[in-house]
Amino acid sequence: MTIRSVVLGCGSYLPQRVVTNAELASRIETSDDWIVQRTGIRERHVAADGEFTSHLAINAARAALAAADVDPQSIDLIVLGTSTPDNTFPATAVAVQNGLGIHHGAAFDLQAVCSGFVFALATADNFLRSRSFKRALVIGAETFSRILDWNDRTTCVLFGDGAGALILDAQEQGGTSSDRGVLTTHLRSDGRHKSKLYVDGGPSSTQTVGHLRMEGREVFKHAVGMITDVIVDAFDATGMSAETIDWFVPHQANKRIIDASAHKLHIAPEKVVLTVDRHGNTSAASIPLALDVAVKDGRIKKGDVVLLEAMGGGFTWGSALVRW
């Protein structure tokens, strides 16, 4: 027997305001055709004035708790993946914990940019499997609209705001790949690539928040290889393959990267969950947002094998295989 982190439920939240490509084209030199052709993005959600990352995260957490039908007081661990915290400190996870009325256990943020949710999931999984905690709330939440240069058409068209969450429960399982829950996770980082995707500010360096800067072609060039690397590791660790998984839920950065990765791995297009057209790149929030869409529309069902992957600034990248 072994302990597995079993998914009890998921939830998500998107700000009300929708910004279409047409609206962006009215403000900067771009067009709907240009954006769709290069990214697959048609619209994105943007947080309202006074709406913070913690507000998005709390709403997503409440939706996940309702879907799982569990008492918030049963949560003893909160791990929040975000690159856009409410404050430099304390951790936004602590604001979420307090907002949910939880005053026990541990809550902390995890910063791995667009890989943040996969890193947070792996971290919570390891805590649960070590029996340090019993039930975890794992969240990806971002307000990337706050760190964009809205005059830079190469970056401002790509990103959106949102939050998604999962409830994980430590349960005894048989110790095979037929178990429910998180089956394997694989995380990587390589700081040599910082200049290709970063924010040009921070408390220690500039005492400002800064703006997102990206070398798009360079990111694309590295993305497919890095993504496939950690997915092959996941398949090797579990004996699974592109044929045996039910769903592929990638980080929703760019449709061309997603399509190229699925093609290289021989994952059938009908297994790929795509939300980038509606959400844009919501960084750490993109995978749980996509998961919630596919659960709600009936695609992802109990017992399905779901492959998750992401790559983000740093570079960071990672994968997770989960039996729902």
> Hey, which residues are catalytic here?
114, 251, 281
Q: What burial letters (b/e) apply to 77-87, b meaning 16+ CB within 10 Å? A: bbbbbbbbbbe
| Amino acid at site 307 | L
Cα(215)–Cα(313) distance, integer angstroms: 11
Phi/psi-derived region of residue 246, left when phi > 0, alpha when psi is between -120 and 50, beta in every other case: alpha
Cα(275)–Cα(220) distance, integer angstroms: 19
Number of residues that this document lists for the chain: 324
Token pair for 150 = 């809205």
Token pair for 47 = 């947080």
Cα(173)–Cα(69) distance, integer angstroms: 21
Peptide bond into 220 cis (omega under 30): no
